[in-house]
Structure 1
């Protein structure tokens, strides 16, 4: 699998992980009002993001604590929360790493609890696809 996509259940927003190459991948967030892109160096923990989605996909009911993963350089951070109704929120943070011009994007993407098992499978397929 060459991409991993999360589409919002509440808007036209989507998060796309793509262009995986070893410890590197690219993240693109897009909606009708915002579009941003960031290269991510996951070092040795790209698999940690797949494990986060597998943990989310294994949930049998809404959970109370925030679950998150961040890249080593903090250019990409993803935090998942779920309310008592089963509405899942992914809070995204994107920052440049080593850029002379500083910027930061924080946004949120919503999905439904029932989407989590399929997202877990897709995340695992994306991160396993570039293994050598």
Structure 2
């Protein structure tokens, strides 16, 4: 049985650790990047495409919106689910992220139950542990 892969993209090391831990509790194997460009480099250097990417909005080098647009331009990533996890509460930004290709939007702070619920809404069940 294979483990479901998830990519956590956030410039906050603490947030990457928190999200990674929550995803691991749900059965995901995680990798992480500190900004969108690092995430693109990671994706391009790996044969395995994650099922899911959790994407922060505000990051240096390449922000979350730029990452979403870059990923959605490449057909090989079309099945990867993108969940924006951010403290940005402006409705216009939510709409912009969803229009660019994000699948869902989760506001910080959030509970582990809220994350699990969003993943379920996106059609992602709890990952199977290897």
TM-score after normalising by structure 1: 0.28
Question: What is the TM-score of this pair, normalised by structure 2?
Answer: 0.28
Which structure would you say has the larger Rg? 1
Identify the structure with the greater helix proportion.
Answer: 2
Higher strand share: 1
